[in-house]
Structure 1
Amino acid sequence: MNPHYKVLFDPIEIGPVTAPNRFYQVPHASGMTEANPRVRAAFRETKEEGGWGVVS
């Protein structure tokens, strides 16, 4: 791995919470406005299972 990207895997403090890494899913329009809410939840669940630090 390129050493410049190592910081992405370091923990980070965000207020009172410590995220295990710097992968952060912000709330945004995903283009899936017609999708069933379960589909949108599954989209975020996949990122959580993949180890993303914060999924909102």
Structure 2
Amino acid sequence: MLHYAVVFLVIALIAAVFGFGGIAAGAVSIAKILFFVFIVLAVIAFIFGRGRP
């Protein structure tokens, strides 16, 4: 999931360089959502994974 967030961030940067503001804004918002979902899932996996020996 972190991979997809980075991909959308790169798409946003390339779109911003070429002047496509709407596409860049959309890609940035998708990248932010994916990044925060990744962080939440990583924290949940860390918390529940610690209980096992």
TM-score bucket (shorter structure): 0.3 to 0.5
| Larger RCO (alpha carbons 8 Å, 6+ apart) | 2
**Higher strand content, 1 or 2:** 1
- TM-score after normalising by structure 1: 0.31
Larger Rg: 2
**Higher helix content, 1 or 2:** 2
